[in-house]
Structure 1
Amino acid sequence: MNTDRSLSASDLDVLVKGDGPALLLAHGAGGGIEGNFGLVLDDLAQDHTLVGPHYPGAGGSPVATEPLDLDDLADQLVAAAAAAGQDSFAVLGESLGSAVAVRIAARHPERVRALVLTAGFAVADPVLDLAARLIKSLAAAGQWEDVARLAFLSCLSPTDLAKIEPAYIDAVVAQALAGMPPGTVDHFDLASRVDVRPDLGNLSAPTLIVVPTGDRLVLPESSHRLAEDIPGAKLIELRGAAHILNEADRATWLHHVREFLDTLPAVPA
């Protein structure tokens, strides 16, 4: 049964790159297309059309005037893909983008060829919920440097943090703060409210779950629960990887994602 919904035009800022079967990119809270996928955009664009919408308040997308709604955001991403001439696609979701990807597949199943969910969750676990609350309260108090410190501490692995000389910590935090999009609080507010658990058992698209086992923002157990509840989902672990994948871990991610994408049926000409 076709449950696809009519789409309104999207006003999101969208990166479109490459040629071939489409990949719709769904980024994480406080991130963006370059921030989440920048290390692999050129590689994937060699044989795929990448469609990377920025959530409200990220990239060049206008800041939301009211709390973000998951259904609306999912539909806006699909509308962005349709506007780019892509009627079907695999969805690559990172962190919050995993919940967005699941909702896209639930609302537009005929369009979704596959799902790749990295550092994902169906509902905020206690660590993510606490982090979202802290980010919202610190931002409300104007303590944006502390927001950046919290994000920095949560998103890197102890190994990566240990490589940073203490004298450079403030400079690195300042760089993180400068790259933090205006919609960060809105994104984390949505992350604290999403619940796509009712969608999982009804998903039919082939699904790959990628678990960074060193993630300190989204518990790895959240990804394991996704794999348990999505029919036929395949799970792979990136041992010791953090919430934000470093270059080596992203290269391993790319290898597994390409292997998975290669198993999908060819897109009809």
Structure 2
Amino acid sequence: MKKQLWGFAAGGVLAAMIAVPASAHRQWMMPSSTVLSGDDVWVTVDAAVSNDLFYFEHQPMRLDALKAWAPDGSEATIENKATGRYRSTFDVHLTQKGTWRIASVVDGVMGSYDLNGKTERLPRGTTTANLAEKIPAGATNVRTAESNNRNEIFVTVGEPTNTLFKPTGKGIELVPVIHPNDLIAGEAFTFQFLLDGKPTADLPVTVIPGGIRYRDQLGQIDTRTGADGKVELTLPEAGMYWVNVTTPQVEGEGEGPPPADAPPRRRASYVTTLEVLAP
């Protein structure tokens, strides 16, 4: 069986998370609050895939890969999970002071193969562990590429902490120069993005303010990371913002099978929701 790696334009989870036109679907998580105080604190999170940020009118986000971590790094319990027709929802009991991370990280393999004169795509849910069983006997011209899709939010009780920002070295990850729960409208802030643990230049960054259903202009900001993987942003108004960072798409990618000598293509996507406070 001949096997090669190549770039593949995936559907499903990846398509919902990459930078897309205004009419396409976006995956997001929306916390009831990102900055809290007190000794018995909870956060409720809505999670969906929709056209309008942050309204649920298309489909719920799957919660299979959802996890939460307390400021000391211990894994926390996700409580009261529920999935309806248009959204999922869940609660996290914030029992420690500091910054919590709630994330859905999905790793997979996308690609295609030729069988009986037809080109078939690998089924959804294919991973490096089950790849061999997903490719039928007799398949030829197998093309695969790994993907990593991270959707995460941060919630702080009391003073912000940075203990949960240690990179795992896999996919696109955020290294905040300014804490994501300490953003003020009209004030510049800097984030750094890593790809597989390394600062990476030229990653497309898209920022869209919520509430697009009720305004004429999308308000989208498009930029790219610099040589050190950093991007500086100034968000003009208080509110919730959707942020999406992806690996660049090669011109012509997804428009048919690539040449036999096409180089491997790494596909990764990052999504977060930021709350920007009034001055």
TM-score in terms of structure 1 length = 0.30
Quick check: which one's helix share is greater?
1
Larger radius of gyration: 2
